Amino acid sequence: MTTVLDADRIFAAMADATRRDIVLRALDAREGVVELAAHYPMSFAAIQKHIAVLERAGLVTKERDGRRKVVRTNIDALRLARGLLDEYEALWRGRIDRMTDLIAYSKEIER
């Protein structure tokens, strides 16, 4: 079950373009933290902080592979985010459908 806090963490983490890119790059879990950091024009410490935010949100995990810490995307967390977005889409589509019906009804009354 998803709590509001879970949703807030996931969407707050995904609000940053660098973090979204890290999530995408970590889908195949080939790169470690050092390799990921090489892709961005910021310090290694800044990338570590981004990864920590993603870890707290449950979007990535770090796994030891020898001396490297490989970053892996948590597919289940992405599915959860997708499910939440689907719920919001259904909610808004329902509201739009009701507004459309009201507009059509009001036009019929005017005639």
Whether pLDDT at 107 is above 90: no
Give per-residue pLDDT as tens, 16-71: 999 999 999 999 989 999 999 999 999 999 999 999 999 999 999 999 988 899 99
Contacts of 59 (CB under 8 A, 6+ apart): 10, 13, 14, 19, 23, 73, 74, 77, 78, 81
Q: Do residues 33 and 62 make contact, with C-beta atoms less than 8 angstroms apart? A: yes
Selection from 61, 56, 59 nearest residue 32 by Cα? 61
Quickly count: other Cβ atoms within 10 Å of residue 94's Cβ. 10
pLDDT number for residue 75: 93
Per domain, the residue ranges of the chain are: 4-81
Q: How many residues does the chain have?
A: 111
CATH, domain 4-81, list 2.40.50.180, 3.40.50.170, 1.10.3720.10, 1.10.10.10: 1.10.10.10
The residue type found at 69 is K
Q: How far is CA 23 from CA 12, 47, 88, in A?
A: 13, 12, 22
* pTM: predicted TM-score of the whole model, two decimal places: 0.78
